[in-house]
Amino acid sequence: KPELLATGPNEVWSWDITKLRGPVPHVYYYLYTILDIFSRYVVGYMIAQRELAHLARQLVADSCAKQAIAPDQLILHADRGSSMTSKTLALLLADLGVGKSHSRPYTSDDNPFSEAQFKTMKYRPDYPARFGSLADARSWARTFFEWYNHQHRHTSLGLMTPATVHYGLAAELTLQRQVVLQAAYEKHPERFVKGLPTPPVLPTAVWINPPTAKKGEQ
């Protein structure tokens, strides 16, 4: 099984494709999304009328360029869909020096971050039952991903936004929160029965399938 560790942004990305319902039955649009597993920041996405390997290749290339990915810096993880395992994408990753990883067959738990992000999207109150057109889908997605990256306070990120973590602002925000909590505690210590409060802690390591301890190592 894949065992992938990220201790900072742009070390491991997860990507996947999900269908969006179009205006009538049997018409779909395809949302390609690339997510940084450490920061949960969506580094790239596109919506197209078909699932095609060359579109996936272009999205990955554009996202790596925008994030200034260096050779041997990044691993790209995905399931075993045809676009994910295509030769055209594999050649691009080799050229860029990006490692590739794939889920085990029929094991959705091997790609949990992309699955969770799609669930967040599809459970939004304004997510429509159907999109009226490709332009409608792209317009909705533009608003959603702006909210997701820059406003959505993620419980797994110590209630910070993905952009805050991805662009190295988490430590400063944690310090600001601690100053506010310290002031509140000093003003009304009786309200804090457990003593001086501390802000939520940002994880220092994020895994896809953390290794299990072998017998004798526990």
Q: Which of 123, 139, 159 is the last residue of a domain?
A: 159
- Are 20 and 86 contained in the same domain? yes
- Are 186 and 141 contained in the same domain? no
* 209 three-class SS: coil
Is 218 domain-assigned? no
Is 214 domain-assigned? no
- Are 125 and 43 contained in the same domain? yes
E strand intervals along the chain? 4-6, 12-21, 28-36, 42-48, 75-78, 99-102, 206-208
At 43-74, the pLDDT tens digits run 999 999 999 999 999 999 999 999 999 999 99
- Are 17 and 74 contained in the same domain? yes
Which residues constitute the domain of residue 188? 170-204
Residue that the structure tokens 């490709």 belong to = 134
Number of structural domains found in the chain: 2
Is 18 domain-assigned? yes
At 103-120, the pLDDT tens digits run 988 777 888 999 999 999
- Are 61 and 147 contained in the same domain? yes
* 172 three-class SS: helix
In this model, does residue 217 exceed pLDDT 60? no
- Give the CATH number of the domain where residue 61 resides: 3.30.420.10
Is 213 domain-assigned? no
The pTM (predicted TM-score) of the whole model is: 0.94
Is 31 domain-assigned? yes
- CB of 168 within 8 A of CB of 162? no
For residue 21, give the amino acid letter: R
- Residues of the chain by 3-state class (helix, strand, coil), percent to 5: 40, 20, 40
Is 16 domain-assigned? yes
In this model, does residue 215 exceed pLDDT 70? no
> Order of strands, edge to edge, in the sheet holding 42-48?
42-48, 28-36, 12-21, 75-78, 99-102
